[in-house]
Chain A
Amino acid sequence: MIDRRLVSSFDWLLLFLVLALGACGVINLYSAASSFTGAGMAVYVKQAYWFGLGLVVMLAVAMVGPQRLSTIAYPFYVLVVILLIAVLFWGKVIGGSQRWLALGPMVIQPSELARLAVVLVLASFFQRRDQTEPYRLHQLLLPVGLALVPALLILKEPDLGTCLLVLMVAGSVILINGVKLRDLAIAGGGMVVALPLVWRFMKDYQKQRIFSFLDPESDPLGSAYHLIQSKIAVGSGQFMGKGFLAGTQSQLHFLPEQHTDFAFSVLAEEWGFIGGMVVLLLVAAIVYRGIATAYRTKDRQSLLMVIGGTAMIFWPAVINVGMVLGLFPVVGIPLPFVSYGGSSLITTMAALGLIQGVAMRRFVFHRP
C-alpha cells in the first residue's frame, strides 16, 4: 500500500526541526506557567499532549496527500464558512469575542481551520485554471473573494489577529502563483486611494478600534504598559539569559498572557540572545525547508499548498516576535510551537502536513 519511496522521500530534517522547536516550546512553558496554581494538568504537559496529537495530524494530512486533499477542498471550505457563521450565532463568548463553538464535548475554534481551508481552496482554484502567465486583476476577483469571506466573518467575531493571518496567507499564495507586476501596482495604489473612503463609511466604534490598534498608548487598558514590561523582560535577558525558572519578569507576573502571546518574552528573558536566536533560526529553517520543497515541486497545486503551509508558519511567527520585541502593535497572535494553545498547534501541524505530503511525493507525481 505505502510506496517505499514515500518513506524514503519523507523530509526527516523538517521533522527533526519541528521536534526540536516543539521541545523548546514545552520546556519554556514549564517555566512560563510554573507559578500558575490550579487544578488540572500542568500547562506544559497539556502542550506536550497537543504536540503528540499534532504529529498524528501532520502524518495524516501528509498521507492523504495534495491530490486527494484538493478533491475535498471546496466541501471543506464550505463547511468552515458554515462553522464561522454558526460561531457568530451560537459561539461561546470569552473575553468579549465569540470564537469558540461547542460541538458535543469538543470545543473548536473555526477561525483556526479557516487558514487551512483558504490554502486548499486557492491551490485547487489556481490548479483548475492552470494559467502560466501572471494573473490580471479581474482574474483575481474570485480568489480574493474566496479569502475575504472567511476573513470578514472572523473580523466580526471580532478576532483581528486571525483575520489578518488569513489575508496574509491567502496573499502569499496569490502572489507566489503570479500577478502581473503592473496590476499589482494598480491594486496597491487602489488600496491606498480607497482607504479614506472606507474610513468615511466606518462607524465611530470601528474607528476607535483601529486607533487603539495603531496606537496602543491610547488604550487605557495599558497594552503600552504590557509592551514596556515585555521589552524589559527580553532586554534584561542579555546574552546568556537569567537562567531557567529565574526570569523575574515572568515569575513575578509582570508579563501579560505570558504562556500564550508573550511566551517568547519568557524564553528571551531566561535563555537570553542565545535562546532567542536558536528559536528564530529553527523557525527560519522550517520556513526555508518549505520554500525549498516548493522550488522542487513541478505541480502547481502541490506547490501552492506548500507555499500556503509555509506561510501559515512564517506570518504568525514574524508578527508574534515582532510584537513581543515592540516592533508591531499588540495583537493576539500566538507563536507557532512556542505559545500554549491546542487549536493553534494542531493547525500549524496540519500546515506542516501539507509540506510533508508534497515532499514525500517528489518522485511519484504523475502516476500512470
Chain B
Amino acid sequence: MNLSQIPKPASVGGRGLEPGENPNIRLALLTAAVLVGLALVVLLGRLWYLQLLKGEHFRLLSENNRIRLVDLAPSRGLIFDAEGRLLADNRPAFTLAVIPEDVGDWAVLTRRLHNLVGLSPEEIAKARRAAQGAPPFKPVVLRNHLDRHQLALLETFRYELPGVKVLVRYQRAYLAPRMAAHVIGYLGEINKQELERSNRAVYRMGDWVGRYGLEKSREQVLHGRRGARQVEVDAMGREIKLIKEVPASRGADITLSINLDLQKAAAKALEGRAGAVAALDPRTGQVLCLYSSPTFDPNDFITGMSTKQWKALAEDPKHPLKDRSISGMYPPGSTYKIITAAAGLAEKAINLTTRFFCAGQMPFGNRYYRCWAYKKGGHGYTDIHKAIRESCDVFFYKTGLKLGVDRLAKWARAFGLGRPTGISLPHESPGLVPDSQWKKKRFKEPWQDGETLSLAIGQSFTLVTPLQMARMTAVVANGGMLVTPTLVKTVTPPGGEPVPAPEPVKTRVPIAPEHLDTIAKGLAAVVNEPHGTARRARLPGITVGGKTGTAQVVGLKFEKSFGDEENVPWKYRSHALFVAYAPVESPTIAVGVVVEHGGHGGSDAAPVAAAVMRAYFGIPEPPPKAEPKPKAAPPAQPKPKKKPARPGAGT
C-alpha cells in the first residue's frame, strides 16, 4: 500500500544514491548545523553582553527602577445635531487615588485624608484590600467626583501627601439628555468579558465603552486611540522626567441628521404618553427625528445610579429604556392599507376604476365582516381614492381577498416591512410579515381566508416599528424608492475635514408611477378633503398627505365589556397610529407615529406628526386656545362607540 516501504531499485534513472546519502542533502544538513551553531553563538554573545559587560548598569537600573508607563486615555468624539448643536460632550471629573508603593506611612496619610476630604479610615482600608494583587504602582481609587473645594485642598497640601494623586478623567456629558436619549445612548465601564474580547491596544480596565444607541454602534469611530508616556518618577512617586510620549488621539466627531428642534417637538407632543415618532427625509433616508417616550436621563448612567434608581428605571411598567421607535412592534392598523392598495394595483387585482359596494359590512364564511362606517350605513360605491380617504374596510377586504395572503406579504416586504431597516442602532426589531408558510410553521395550521380580510386592513399578525412606518411612507413620497435610514451625516476625524457618510442604499420598489400617484392622491385626500380621517394633520401653507390607523390590542368584545371608552383600562386601549409626508408636491419629510393605547389615529397620533412637521417647516405653534379639545372631535372623526367593525377596523 505504501510505496515508500518498498525499496527502490538502485539503478533506476541512473540515480544510485539513497536520499540520505545524497550529497546535496548532506551538505544542506551540515550547513544547517553550522547555522544553528551561529545562532547559539549570537544568543550567548548577546547574553554575555547584557549580563556581563552591561550587567552593572542594568543592576543599578533594576534597583532604582522608577521608569513607569503612564496610560493616556483618548477623549471621546463629540456628537452634534444636524444644526451643529452639541449633544454629547466630555467634561472633566476628578478622582482621588493613591499609589500604595509610594505612601510610606499609611497611618499619617489616613489621618490627613480624613481631615482634608473626609475619607474615613474604613473607606481607605477597604480600597486597599480591594486593590490587593493588582500590579505594582497602579493607582488605587479612593474617591470619585471630587468637588472644587476638595481639589484645592489636595493641591495645597500635595507635598504632605506622598503617593496621593488626583486623576483627571474626561467624563461624558449629555447636553439634551431627555431629547435624544435612545438615539445617542450612553456609556458603561468596560467589563471583563468585553475586555477579553477586545484589542488590548484599544481598551484597558476602567475604560468606558458605548452600551446603547449610537454610542454603542459607533463605538469604533468615537473611541479614539490611546497613548502612553514613559516617565521617571522620584521617591514620592511624582513624575520628574518625561522619557517618551506617544499622545493619545481623540475620537472622531459625529454630526447627526437628527434635528434637536424636531426631537423637542416630538418630546412635547408625546409628553406623559408612551409612543414614538420616526421622521426621515424620503429623498435620502436621513433620519430627521427619532424619539421614544417615556425617556430617561443618560447622564445617570455616567455619574452612577443607586440600586433603587436603577430598579425604578428597569422595572418601570412603561419601559423607558426601550427605544420604541425602532424596537417597538405594533399592528399597523389602517396604515397598512397603503400596502394593500399598492399590492392590489400592482398585481392587477384592482385598477383605477374598480368600484366595490360597501354596505357597512361584508358577508364572508359564516359571518359578517364590518366596516367601521357600519352605523352610518357604509360607504356605498367606493373607488380606490375614496377607499383610502375614508379608510373603507370593505373595499380593502375585497382587494385583499383577490390578492391572497402571500401576495400581500410580498408587497409588505417590498415596502420594507418584516425585516430591520438597517439603521445603525443596536436592538432594532424586524417586525413581522405573516404569510401562509409562516402560519404553518408557527401554528401548524393552514392560513384561513378570513384572516386575509383582517390582514388587508392591518389587523392580523403583522407587526411594524414606527421607523418602518416612516420608511414605508417615504416610498410613496419619493416615487418608489425604498431608502435605508441613516443617522450620521458627517464624521469629522480629529484635525480633519468633515467626511460625509457613505450614500445609503436605495432599492426601487417595482410599482408603476401612476399607481403610486393614485395612492399619493388618496393620502392627500385623507388630510385635506371633506370626509378625510386626518384633518387634524393639516398645516398652514403646506399640503400634507397621511393615513390614520387604530390598532386594537384586545378583542373588540373585551374592549366593549368596559362600557364607555373612558372606562377601558389603559393597557387594553387601542394604539393610535399615523403616517404622513409633506409637502405632497415634492416631499421632504416622511413621518411615522405610534401613541401606545392612545385611542385613535386621527385624534391622537396625527397631532403628534403635525407638531413634528411644524418644527421641521418652522411653522410657529398655533395659540393654545385654537387647539381643539379632544372631546370636541371634528365631524370626520367617528365616534369610537360607534365602531363595531368585526376584526377591529381602524381609521
Q: Which residue of B lies closest to A237 (CB)?
A: B51
How far, in Å, is A120 (CB) from chain B's closest CB? 13
Quick check: B22 and A238 within 8 Å, CB to CB? no
Quick check: A238 and B29 within 8 Å, CB to CB? no
How far, in Å, is A307 (CB) from chain B's closest CB? 8
Contacts A288-B33, A288-B36 hold; do A303 and B20 have CB atoms under 8 A apart? yes
Quick check: B200 and A234 within 8 Å, CB to CB? no
Q: Which of B40, B47, B55, B67 gathers most chain A CB within 10 Å?
A: B47
Task: Check A348 for interface membership: any CB of B closer than 8 A.
Answer: no
How far, in Å, is B137 (CB) from chain A's closest CB? 9
Which stretch from A20-28, A93-101, A185-193 is at the chain B interface?
A93-101
CA distance A255 to B118 in the complex (A): 37
Q: Which of B17, B26, B43, B57 gathers most chain A CB within 10 Å?
A: B43
CA distance A130 to B4 in the complex (A): 9
CA distance A70 to B248 in the complex (A): 53
Taking CB atoms, residues of chain A closer than 8 Å to B142 are: none
Task: Check A345 for interface membership: any CB of B closer than 8 A.
Answer: no
Taking CB atoms, residues of chain B closer than 8 Å to A232 are: 58, 61-62, 65
Task: Check A266 for interface membership: any CB of B closer than 8 A.
Answer: no
How far, in Å, is A82 (CB) from chain B's closest CB? 24
Partner pick for B36 among A93, A127, A284, CB 8 A cutoff: A284
The 0/1 profile, CB within 8 Å of A marked 1, for residues 166-179 of chain B is 00000000000000
CA distance A94 to B193 in the complex (A): 9
Quick check: B20 and A299 within 8 Å, CB to CB? yes
Interface residues of A in 139-186 (CB under 8 A from B): 172, 175-178
Quick check: B244 and A236 within 8 Å, CB to CB? no
Which stretch from A9-17, A51-59, A223-231 is at the chain B interface?
A223-231
Contacts A67-B4, A222-B230, A303-B19 hold; do A254 and B65 have CB atoms under 8 A apart? yes
Quick check: B19 and A272 within 8 Å, CB to CB? no
CA distance A322 to B15 in the complex (A): 42
CA distance A322 to B36 in the complex (A): 14
Contacts A178-B25, A248-B62, A276-B51 hold; do A284 and B246 have CB atoms under 8 A apart? no
Task: Check B136 for interface membership: any CB of A closer than 8 A.
Answer: yes
Task: Say which size band chain B's interface belongs to.
Answer: 35 or more
Q: Which residue of A lies closest to B138 (CB)?
A: A253
Taking CB atoms, residues of chain A closer than 8 Å to B52 are: 238-239, 273
If over half of B's interface residues share one DSSP class (helix, strand or loop), that class is named, otherwise mixed; here it is helix
CA distance A178 to B24 in the complex (A): 7
If over half of A's interface residues share one DSSP class (helix, strand or loop), that class is named, otherwise mixed; here it is helix
Taking CB atoms, residues of chain B closer than 8 Å to A236 are: 55, 58-59, 61-63
Quick check: B2 and A322 within 8 Å, CB to CB? no
How far, in Å, is B247 (CB) from chain A's closest CB? 8
Task: Check A294 for interface membership: any CB of B closer than 8 A.
Answer: yes
Partner pick for A273 among B47, B57, B136, CB 8 A cutoff: B47
Partner pick for A235 among B42, B57, B197, CB 8 A cutoff: B57
Quick check: A132 and B55 within 8 Å, CB to CB? no
Contacts A175-B28, A237-B51, A298-B18 hold; do A96 and B62 have CB atoms under 8 A apart? no
CA distance A248 to B69 in the complex (A): 17
Q: Which of A93, A237, A268 gathers most chain B CB within 10 Å?
A: A237
Quick check: B58 and A235 within 8 Å, CB to CB? yes
CA distance A125 to B351 in the complex (A): 72
Taking CB atoms, residues of chain A closer than 8 Å to B19 are: 130, 132, 298-300, 303
Quick check: A220 and B20 within 8 Å, CB to CB? no
Task: Check B228 for interface membership: any CB of A closer than 8 A.
Answer: yes
Q: Which residue of A lies closest to B14 (CB)?
A: A132
CA distance A254 to B137 in the complex (A): 10
CA distance A279 to B2 in the complex (A): 40
Contacts A67-B2, A228-B67 hold; do A220 and B61 have CB atoms under 8 A apart? no
Task: Check A136 for interface membership: any CB of B closer than 8 A.
Answer: no
Quick check: B21 and A284 within 8 Å, CB to CB? no
Task: Check B564 for interface membership: any CB of A closer than 8 A.
Answer: no
CA distance A70 to B47 in the complex (A): 40
Q: Which of B1, B29, B51, B133 gathers most chain A CB within 10 Å?
A: B51
Q: Which residue of A lies closest to B30 (CB)?
A: A295
Interface residues of A in 281-295 (CB under 8 A from B): 281, 284, 287-288, 291, 294-295
Q: Which residue of A lies closest to B61 (CB)?
A: A232
Taking CB atoms, residues of chain A closer than 8 Å to B57 are: 235
Task: Check A243 for interface membership: any CB of B closer than 8 A.
Answer: no
How far, in Å, is A169 (CB) from chain B's closest CB? 13
CA distance A38 to B133 in the complex (A): 9
Q: Which residue of A lies closest to B13 (CB)?
A: A132
Quick check: A318 and B55 within 8 Å, CB to CB? no
Quick check: B225 and A220 within 8 Å, CB to CB? yes
CA distance A37 to B202 in the complex (A): 26
Quick check: B50 and A235 within 8 Å, CB to CB? yes
How far, in Å, is A149 (CB) from chain B's closest CB? 24
Contacts A252-B136, A303-B19 hold; do A96 and B2 have CB atoms under 8 A apart? no
Contacts A94-B196, A96-B199, A295-B26 hold; do A222 and B228 have CB atoms under 8 A apart? yes
Quick check: A280 and B62 within 8 Å, CB to CB? no
CA distance A322 to B52 in the complex (A): 17
Task: Check A233 for interface membership: any CB of B closer than 8 A.
Answer: yes
Quick check: A280 and B200 within 8 Å, CB to CB? no
How far, in Å, is A324 (CB) from chain B's closest CB? 10
Contacts A177-B25, A228-B67 hold; do A234 and B47 have CB atoms under 8 A apart? yes
How far, in Å, is B283 (CB) from chain A's closest CB? 33
How far, in Å, is A124 (CB) from chain B's closest CB? 9
Q: Which residue of A lies closest to B196 (CB)?
A: A94
Task: Check B201 for interface membership: any CB of A closer than 8 A.
Answer: yes
CA distance A217 to B52 in the complex (A): 26
Q: Which residue of B lies closest to A253 (CB)?
A: B135
CA distance A142 to B47 in the complex (A): 41
Task: Check A88 for interface membership: any CB of B closer than 8 A.
Answer: no
Task: Check B8 for interface membership: any CB of A closer than 8 A.
Answer: yes
CA distance A239 to B51 in the complex (A): 6
How far, in Å, is A223 (CB) from chain B's closest CB? 10
Partner pick for A220 among B44, B54, B201, CB 8 A cutoff: B201
Taking CB atoms, residues of chain A closer than 8 Å to B106 are: none
CA distance A224 to B230 in the complex (A): 10
Task: Check B309 for interface membership: any CB of A closer than 8 A.
Answer: no
Task: Check B572 for interface membership: any CB of A closer than 8 A.
Answer: no
Partner pick for A280 among B29, B40, B196, CB 8 A cutoff: B40
Quick check: A37 and B133 within 8 Å, CB to CB? yes
Quick check: B48 and A273 within 8 Å, CB to CB? yes
CA distance A23 to B644 in the complex (A): 87
How far, in Å, is B109 (CB) from chain A's closest CB? 21
Task: Check B630 for interface membership: any CB of A closer than 8 A.
Answer: no
Taking CB atoms, residues of chain B closer than 8 Å to A366 are: 5, 7
Contacts A287-B36, A295-B29, A299-B4 hold; do A325 and B228 have CB atoms under 8 A apart? no
15 additional contacts, CB 8 Å, given A280-B44, A325-B46? A70-B4, A94-B197, A127-B4, A220-B227, A221-B228, A224-B244, A236-B58, A238-B56, A272-B51, A273-B48, A280-B40, A288-B36, A291-B33, A307-B32, A318-B43
List chain A positions with a Cβ less than 8 A from chain B. Answer: 37-38, 67, 70-71, 93-96, 127-128, 130, 132, 134, 172, 175-178, 217-222, 224-225, 228-229, 231-239, 248-249, 252-254, 268, 272-273, 276-277, 280-281, 284, 287-288, 291, 294-301, 303, 307, 314, 318, 321-322, 325-327, 366-367
Q: Can you list 9 A-B contacts (CB < 8 A)?
A: A96-B198, A176-B29, A177-B25, A236-B55, A291-B33, A299-B4, A303-B25, A314-B36, A325-B47
List chain B positions with a Cβ less than 8 A from chain A. Answer: 1-5, 7-8, 15, 17-22, 24-26, 28-29, 32-33, 36-37, 39-40, 42-44, 46-48, 50-52, 54-59, 61-63, 65, 67, 69, 72, 132-133, 135-136, 196-202, 225-228, 230, 244, 246, 248
The 7 closest A-B pairs by CB, nearest first: A235-B58, A96-B199, A300-B19, A298-B20, A236-B62, A238-B55, A220-B246
